[in-house]
Structure 1
Amino acid sequence: MPSKTLTFVFAAERGAPAPLTEHRCKAAVPVAGKYRVIDFTLANCLHSGLRQVLVLTQYKSHSLHKHLRDGWSLFNAELGEFITAVPPQMRYHSDWYRNAMDALRQNRYLIERSPADSLLLLDGGLVYRMDYAELIRSHREQGGGISCPLRQAGPGTASGGMAVEVDAEGRIIAMRPPPEAGDAYRSTMGVVLIDKALLLERLETLAEAGEAEMAAGMESSMESGADLVTQLLSPFLDGRAFTPSPPVAYGFGGERGRVSQDRYWSDLGSTDAYFRANMDLLKADSPLDLYQADWHILTYQGQYPPARTVPGPSSGNEGIFVNSMLAAGTVIRGGGVSHSVLYPQVQVEDGAIVDEAILFEGVRVGANARIRRCICDKEVVIPAGAIVGEDRRADAERFAVSDEGIVVIRKGQSL
């Protein structure tokens, strides 16, 4: 059944957290010590047997294209398998992708020529694990035109998505912005499965509306999975379009499927959300299972030497790390690292202290420097003796500081 499904991964938006998306799109933001955000969606596709994947790209896409080339060139073209980046084709107008529906419209010819009978539409800027094969199987059992996975949301869960009302038969009958606070609710999660004929019918309706009317009615952006789901489902809920039956809800994190049911989902929608998502992985009982033996998250990894700790050249103190993630090529020379996530080729020098920090590839922390509750983008150099994260007012004069006090040092920013 997955072989009859064409997959679109929407990875065209800048998205959040803004300081980390100045040089890359959200889907290409590093996460969890070695991955990019899009790796989670693509790994879900791989393990679900989906081998025909089109990645819609746009905003500062070079980093993402390079990652797809280096890390995801693993399908066999001779068998009709592919993961292909698709920038705006401009077949109907000369603009970039305006939003999700316009992106599908610009690539209508790819949909029409595909032998698939259904399309799986995914937001590539989210972190979660899901067996899409079971969604597809459920969709065919239900016989509806659209299936939409829903997660349980509310206090203590990640924000993002739209609140959804479901009737007793599991059909989606209403959709609205999520409540600001209060009770739990069902939420969309940036995933929609739709019959090919139904989607083509919807695209034809948009084409018949005329360019001016369509542009006026397509004011939403490419900025989130909520936009993707809203644009697809709204016409079928307010009577502007019709299906054999209303969209069908599919429970995220149920018993079906091969993936262990951690039920984790995050849209990394702010600097604080991004920081918390990474820190969550350091908990003894992490809410996101990265260690399921038959559900590995694939990525590109440079051929770096193993991470190691060595004594400091001046002090002779041993390099130490406590409850942290260390990627290949990282060296701690007499410094101390605790509750932190270090990407490849990070250097922590003698006497330096790194606490509750996220250090991207190639970051250098000088001798006797102290950094706390900080995110350092690629190749940032922290000078010897520098202090970051201990004086919010001083930090705000030099760096971006989040609502919860997380300091972000941008790529290429000097201290």
Structure 2
Amino acid sequence: MRDTLTVILAGGRGSRLEPLTRDRAKPAVPFGGLYRIVDFVLSNCLNSGMRRMLLLTQYKAQSLDRHIHLAWRNYFCRELGEFIDVVPPQQRIDDNWYQGTADAVYQNIYAIEREQPEDVVVLAGDHIYKMNYKTMVDFHRDRDADITIGALRVRCEDAKQFGVMQVDPDGQLMGFQEKPDQPIPTPEDPEVCLASMGIYVFKARFLYERLCDDATQPDSAHDFGKNIIPDAISNSRVFAFPFLDENRKDSVTPHVGADAYWRDVGTIDAYYEANMDLIGVDPQLNLYDQAWPMRSFQPMLPPPKFVFGSEGHSSRKGEALDSIVCQGAIISGGRVARSIIGAGCRVNSYASVEDSILFDHVDVGRHCKLRRVIVDKGVNIPQGTEIGFDPAADAARGFTVTESGLVVIARGEVIPAETMV
């Protein structure tokens, strides 16, 4: 894979994830207690043998840049031609921010050309899944493709948010529609569409030519899905690569629905559901797979601790059921159920945390009750506070409340003692 360069688009604003993206880019949002969203695509790259990466940032990139420095720099040796370079917008070509996915790559075309790759892999840094990109690159080269697109089979009712592809029996694209109102189903199943995952492999020379041509088009959105892919179908070799889930690649069933785990965590509710997927008895996304490890920054903290469980303290027992509890957390006489507890958190006596996500260093006071709540880093919940039981009251306090009743407490939120019950 030394003749392949990976470009990761990690500049997303993530406005639908606010307030979690108020101070950080979407790929830098914590996920699963220990990780950031971007760790999944980076782990896939490392496990696939791809060790030459450009990470293109844009909005609120400081948190993401710091995480890459802490978690990922040591995996690469510059002397051996390995690197992960964080590349902010440099306005080398014009004075604009990135206008679209294709424009983001175009504005960094000099950095890509300098590495002289044979193929360029373009990935989004804000999706949750496991995938071996080497298999896709091999597929791309075997078919002498100009572009290969990662393809996911989704239900037609969910396909309106994707690019939808039609392919011939060999997998070559015959049609492509970006976010269509009426998605075209596959011939073999009228309820399923073939959707683009936003994962591309390009012949490097072909990519340069198409990007330079697209940059001269004043009416273009400068986007891969809206412009580059549809324009290439009629006169180039464009193929769809069926997504192979690394957790389920040996399954005898087709990779449809639950069999192929891929999540776009673009909204608060989608983000919450993807986190909750992790705490199942047999989760679709296996974080404990030693053959395909997920990597991240490991803070120097002690193991989690559960106290007041001995005889004589039966009324206050520190316990966590069906939950993920990260290092440094102390469940001090409180009860946690179906939740994700970040590093350095504390759940104090008689408190109850259910169906919730606590980011790092959250302190939950005595007698608190939290249900279906996401709490950002470092928030102190005063004792006796109840959140997640009355959506109108939670909204009146200034918390973000989704249509499903999920409550989000932003980083730096100060919850006054008057909310005590």
1:152 CA drift (Å):
1.1
Call closer, same or farther: CA 1:155–1:359 in 2, change over 3 Å.
farther
Tell me which amino acid in the other structure corresponds to 1:273.
A
* Whole-angstrom distance in 1 between the partners of 2:157 and 2:304: 35
Asked if the contact 1:10–1:122 (Cα under 8 Å) also holds between the matched residues in 2, the reply is yes
Maintained 8 Å contact 1:259/1:295: no
Establish whether residue 248 from structure 1 lines up as the match of residue 244 from structure 2: no
1:161 to partner: Cα distance: 2.4
> Measured at CA, do residues 86 and 231 of structure 1 come closer, stay the same or move farther in structure 2, by a change above 3 Å?
farther
Query: Deviation of residue 254 (structure 1)?
Result: 6.8
> Quick one: percent identity of the two aligned structures?
37
Question: CA separation of 1:96/1:5 partners in 2, compared to 1, >3 Å: closer, same or farther?
Answer: same
* Partner in structure 2 of residue 224 of structure 1: none
Q: 5 Å matches for 1:7-406?
A: 7-15=6-14, 16-73=16-73, 74-154=75-155, 160-176=161-177, 177=179, 183-207=191-215, 209=216, 213-214=217-218, 216-218=219-221, 228-237=224-233, 239=234, 242-243=235-236, 245=237, 247-253=238-244, 263-311=260-308, 317-398=316-397, 399-406=399-406
Q: 1:159 to 1:45 in 2, by over 3 A?
A: farther
Shift of 1:11: 0.2
Cα distance in 1 for partners of 2:24, 2:148 equals 31
Give distance in 2, aligned partners of 1:33 and 1:158: 30
- For normalisation by structure 2, the TM-score amounts to 0.89
Q: Is the CA contact (8 Å cut-off) linking 2:127 and 2:265 kept in structure 1?
A: yes
Opposite residue 233 of structure 1, the aligned amino acid is I
> What is the CA–CA distance in structure 1 between the aligned matches of 2:37 and 2:224, rounded to whole Å?
18
Name which of structure 1's ranges 168-177 and 247-256 shifts more when overlaid on structure 2: 247-256
One-letter amino acid of the structure 2 residue matched with residue 205 of structure 1: D
Deviations 1:126-166 (A, max 9, x none): 01100000001111111111101101111797984222211
Distance, in Å, in 2 between the alignment partners of 1:129 and 1:156 is 24
Q: 1:330 to 1:100 in 2, by over 3 A?
A: same
Q: For 2:8 and 2:299, how far apart are their aligned partners in 1?
A: 25
Question: How many angstroms does 1:193 deviate by?
Answer: 0.3
Report deviation, 1:259. 9.0
Deviation of 1:102 (Å): 1.4
Distance in 1 between residues matched to 2:181 and 2:382, nearest whole Å? 45
What TM-score, normalized by structure 1, do the two folds share?
0.90
Q: Is the 8 A contact 2:319 2:331 kept in 1?
A: yes
Q: Mark the runs of 5 or more structure 1 residues left unpaired by the alignment.
A: 221-226
Tell me if structure 1 keeps the 8 A contact 2:11–2:57.
yes
The one-letter code sitting in structure 1 at the alignment partner of 2:209 is E
CA distance 1:333–1:159, shift in 2 (3 Å): farther
Distance 1:178 1:287, change over 3 A: farther
Secondary structure in 2 matching 1:306 = coil
Q: Distance in 1 between the 2:356 and 2:307 partners? A: 20
Q: Is the 8 A contact 1:362 1:378 kept in 2?
A: yes
| Alignment-derived partner of residue 413 in structure 2 | 413
Q: CA RMSD in A?
A: 2.4
- Residues 353-376 of structure 1: per-residue CA shift (max 9 Å, x gap): 000000000111000010000100
Q: C-alpha distance in 2, partners of 1:53/1:130?
A: 16
Counterpart code for 1:38: V
Write the letter of the residue equivalent to 2:100. N
The alpha carbon displacement at 1:204 in A equals 2.4
Amino acid at match of 2:60: K
Q: Is this contact kept in 2: 1:58–1:87, CA < 8 A? A: yes
Which deviates more, 23-32 or 178-187? 178-187
Instruction: Please state how far the C-alpha of 1:304 moved relative to its aligned partner.
Output: 0.5
Distance 1:103 1:97 in 2: 5
Cα distance change, pair 253–156 in 1 and its aligned pair in 2 (3 A): farther
User: How much has 1:302 moved relative to structure 2?
Assistant: 0.7
Work out the CA distance in 1 between the residues paired with 2:180 and 2:409. Answer: 32
Query: Conserved in 2, the CA contact under 8 Å of 1:8 and 1:119?
Result: yes
Query: Tell me, what secondary structure is at the counterpart of 1:278?
Result: helix
> Contact 1:160 / 1:267 at 8 angstroms: preserved in 2?
no
8 Å CA contact retained: 1:127, 1:265 = yes
Between stretches 342-351 and 153-162, larger displacement belongs to 153-162
Deviates more, 1:169-178 or 1:380-389: 169-178
- Aligned-partner residue type, residue 48 of structure 2: S
Aligned-residue offset at 1:170: 1.1
